Amino acid sequence: MKLQKSTRNDLEDIKVHVKLKLAATWTSFMFLYIYVDYFHLYMPNSIKDLISGIVFKFEITQAFLLIALTSVTIPALMIFLSVVLTAKFSRWTNIIVATIYIPYTLFNLAGEAWPHMIFGAVIEVILLLLVIWYALKWPKQ
């Protein structure tokens, strides 16, 4: 094994545990998920539709709002669960949830998709694929 000579300008680096990588990836996903929806409010007629009780083609009902909150709660909880679940359970939970959220993310592009929505969805899918990859490559003991 060849040792590299350390210099004054070398930066210290640490190995980041896969649980923290997963939590950070889900956190990034959540920021994008929320901001894409937030910026949607700046699109023409968005506020008018909200006031009239419509989101996309769906009537705003108690059931709709519960489903919408659930769709945000699951990835938000994944930030926490990625850190606290046992490795085996965390691995499979991350793989399953990320796999489900890929088509869900793409479904959000149905209808009128502006460039910011497409950009956000592409980055969100990349982050979800990264979650799956980290989970699949989880180091063995």
Residues 87-128: pLDDT tens digits? 999 999 999 999 999 999 999 888 878 999 999 999 999 999
Cα 33 from Cα 128, distance rounded (Å): 12
Structure tokens at 41: 């409010």
Cα 82 from Cα 84, distance rounded (Å): 6
Q: For position 5, what pLDDT does the model report?
A: 65
